[in-house]
Amino acid sequence: MAIFTLAHEGKNLRQLRNIVRYNSKNKKGFNSDTNPRLIGVHSNCGYCLNIDDENEYNQLVDNFILTVDSNSQLSTNSRQKYLYEHSVISFSIEDDKKLGMKKATELAIETAKQYDPNFENMPYMMWPQTDSGKLHFHIVRGLHDENGEYYKQSFPKKKMNISTQKIEKTHDLTLTGKNDLNNYIWKTQKNGKKKKIYFPQGNKNNDKIAKNKAIDLKIEIDEKGNIEYFNKLTNEKIGYKNEIDSLKSKKKTIQKNADKKIKAVNSENKTLAKNVKYSIWQKYFTNYEKVDQIERSEKIKKNKIYKTKLKNTVKRKFSQANKEGKKLESSIKIKNTELDQCKSEMNKDQADLDLQKSKNEQLNEIKNIINNAYRNSETPEMFIKKINENEIEACINIRENGQGGISFNHISSDISVAGGKVNSYLTFGKIKKNDPALFDLLIEKDLHNTITFQKDHRSNLDQKFDIKKINKNYKQKVNFDGSISIFFHKKDAEKYPYNHNIKVSRDCKTISFGQRRNDHDLQLAYKFAKKSGWKNGVSKNKDLVKSLMSLSYKKNKEDLFFFKTKEPTLKMSALKEIIGEETLSVDNLIKLYDDVIVKDEKDEALVFIKNQLKANDVDMTKVNNLLKEDLSLKEIITEINEPEIEKVDDKEKIIIEIKETSKPEIKEKSKSEYKSLAEIERDKMRGIK
């Protein structure tokens, strides 16, 4: 497997320097042992044998940027707005193991040359990287050669895909895309023939979005751009607490030292205050005693003053420490508030992340359902039915220029995803080109879900018509062609005009159903048809007719065959599912036998009808006799129900003589020449004069 993607195209040197820096450094610096980003580099602008030597690497980068810049300066075409392109090449894990780093690097360059044969004529740098847990190659190349010629590729993504497909075949890599036979499915066309079409496995899931958000949570950034904001607040709070602890320790030390000094002073004063025994010489012959007492008194006074000052100093230092402590405690309160706010934001972000993960799981499941339904459905009707069974609707929107979009909406979860996000071959253009039958079904060109009515008492729809009078849960929209589209009231009729529940044509001859019809839609169509004075409806869709027959029979027993198919398709098993053990009216039995039952089951239907006629007190002897004459059931019932003209015997017949001689005599008719009214009616139906 080879993947070649275009990351972006840049227009100036500032962007070029940024992308080179991006491919050179990880998020925490030039390189890291724990998360190496710069593990190698290849370029045609110089060499860097030791990528850990930042000076040598930077010299290569400077050469590359100067070359790209100088080449672009040689161009005289001002319309060449792009300076460089940034792309990524990778292979499957199995291919990586088989190729190894050296061969994979050579193959990456060969893939780039397959994409553009002039690849090596332009300055480029290529970085093999494994920081994502998977080997891949980032390529940045200038778009001008040394002569100033511009080599930007048109339709680059398409050409990149073609180059990878060729590389896969040439080097026996894991097959993907159109090389992989599993990406082809069979579809049955309208003419009954099967067609093999390309339909890839489907787009990747959205787990990367949640993964990136999870990374962002670990690197919380505040409005000032401070990285790891939460950790910073926590560290500041810890720092303040350490300062408070330090102040407490300092106060203890001050108090301890003060107490020690005071104790020493008190001890000294106590010693000074003791009585001293002086010698006779000191007492009587010198003034030593007097001087000593004065000195002792002075010393005691000084010690008392020193002790007072010491206490005041301790008190002052304690006051300062307490003020600093209060400031620190106030700062801690502020940090606690900021931390609580930060925690709240992080909890909200975590909740958003959990919600995103949950939505991703639902979205991935929906995408898988749609992909699998399309791959395993031979016809558009089967595909629509399968996604409808999973509460998914396919909605199409067409703009005035003929372009449009297709989206898939999940009814119960309100999740909507564009067709291109589900699969690159489920876009408006791809479906229109590759699966016209599905496209026609989505835009109503397929008449499979349409009922045509026999007769309408109005030529055009009344513009005052209000569907809410029939059912308040529906709303209507008059289309530009005069037809009326009827929607369930929660649907967005303006955004998805083709996503109606039912649609009535302007000439009132047809009702068409949306792709996801339900019993409520069928009941609405039935009520609408009855109130509009329609006689009966005909459709090509036997499943639709069967559903409508079941509904109309529940509403009115005589409306069992209000809806029918153009050609007889009803089977006895289907009929019995609808009516159960109930007895049908004679009128319904006539319609069943003459118009509705499939030809292959007429014999079985006849047995059923005879039993039903017995229950309706019909003379079965006459029925059996008339059946031998190959009559329709309507003719049989008509003949049985018509009273016979009294038959007169020849001998008892009175011949009326005409008195007027001018008129010819009326000849007597034989018994065989008389006909009953039933026989006359039967002859009329057969076209006999």
- Two tokens at 38? 């710069």
Residue 9, pLDDT score: 92
Residue 648, pLDDT score: 40
Q: Do 537 and 674 fall into the same domain? A: no
Q: Do 536 and 606 fall into the same domain? A: yes
Q: Do 669 and 623 fall into the same domain? A: no
Is residue 111 scored above 90 in pLDDT?
yes
| 301-338 confidence digits (pLDDT tens) | 888 888 888 888 888 888 888 888 888 888 888 888 88
33 domain-assigned: yes
Please state the rounded mean pLDDT for residues 463-468. Answer: 72
Task: Name residue 591's amino acid.
Answer: K
Taking all residues of the chain, what is their mean pLDDT, rounded to a whole number? 80
Is residue 114 scored above 60 in pLDDT?
yes
Please, which pLDDT band fits residue 489 given cuts at 50, 70 and 90? confident
Please, which pLDDT band fits residue 110 given cuts at 50, 70 and 90? very high
Of 138, 161, 179, the residue at which a domain comes to its end is: 179
Rounded Cα distance, 4 and 159, in Å: 10
Of 355, 372, 389, the residue at which a domain comes to its end is: 372
Rounded Cα distance, 57 and 49, in Å: 9
| 286-303 confidence digits (pLDDT tens) | 888 788 888 888 888 888
Residue 416, pLDDT score: 84
Pick the more confident residue, 189 or 437: 437
- Two tokens at 459? 């030529």
Three-state secondary-structure class, residue 463: coil
Of 323, 349, 372, the residue at which a domain comes to its end is: 372
User: How many domains does the chain contain in total?
Assistant: 4
401 domain-assigned: no
Q: Do 669 and 617 fall into the same domain? A: no
Burial of 308 (0-12, 13-18, 19+ CB in 10 A): exposed
Residue 464, pLDDT score: 64
421 domain-assigned: no
126 domain-assigned: yes
Rounded Cα distance, 352 and 470, in Å: 43
Rounded Cα distance, 443 and 334, in Å: 62
Q: Do 451 and 351 fall into the same domain? A: no
Provide the whole-model pTM.
Answer: 0.53
Q: How big is the CA angle at 96 (ends 16 and 101), to the nearest 5 degrees?
A: 60
Do 210 and 353 contact (CB within 8 A), yes or no? yes
Q: What CATH number corresponds to the domain at position 122? A: 3.30.930.30
Residue 126, pLDDT score: 94
The percent of residues above 70 in pLDDT, for the chain, comes to 84
Q: Do 52 and 125 fall into the same domain? A: yes
Sign of CA dihedral 273, 277, 281, 285: positive
- Two tokens at 333? 């309160």
Rounded Cα distance, 559 and 550, in Å: 10
Please, which pLDDT band fits residue 159 given cuts at 50, 70 and 90? very high
Pick the more confident residue, 93 or 640: 93
Residue 327, pLDDT score: 86
Q: Do 353 and 241 fall into the same domain? A: yes
Please, which pLDDT band fits residue 379 given cuts at 50, 70 and 90? confident
569 domain-assigned: yes
Please state the rounded mean pLDDT for residues 535-554. Answer: 86
Residue 82, pLDDT score: 92
What is the distance between the terminal CA atoms of the chain, rounded to a whole angstrom?
Answer: 83
- Two tokens at 141? 């190349």
Q: Do 661 and 602 fall into the same domain? A: no
221 domain-assigned: no
Please state the rounded mean pLDDT for residues 454-478. Answer: 70
DSSP 283: I
Rounded Cα distance, 406 and 307, in Å: 92
Q: Do 506 and 608 fall into the same domain? A: yes
- Two tokens at 349? 């972000």
Residue 79, pLDDT score: 83
Instruction: List phi, psi (to 5°) of 350.
Output: -65, -40
Partners of 418 in beta bridges: 407
186 domain-assigned: no
| 160-179 confidence digits (pLDDT tens) | 999 999 999 899 898 888 88
Rounded Cα distance, 444 and 449, in Å: 9
Please state the rounded mean pLDDT for residues 498-516. Answer: 79
Q: Do 655 and 592 fall into the same domain? A: no
Please, which pLDDT band fits residue 679 given cuts at 50, 70 and 90? low
Partners of 26 in beta bridges: 29
Q: Do 48 and 109 fall into the same domain? A: yes
Q: Do 623 and 675 fall into the same domain? A: no
Range with lowest mean pLDDT among 147-156, 353-362, 383-392, 547-556: 353-362
Is residue 68 scored above 90 in pLDDT?
yes
Is residue 547 scored above 70 in pLDDT?
yes
| Residue-number span of the structural domain to which 280 is assigned | 229-372
Cα 409 to Cα 33, 415, 419, 430, distances in angstroms: 47, 6, 10, 19
Please state the rounded mean pLDDT for residues 613-635. Answer: 81
381 domain-assigned: no
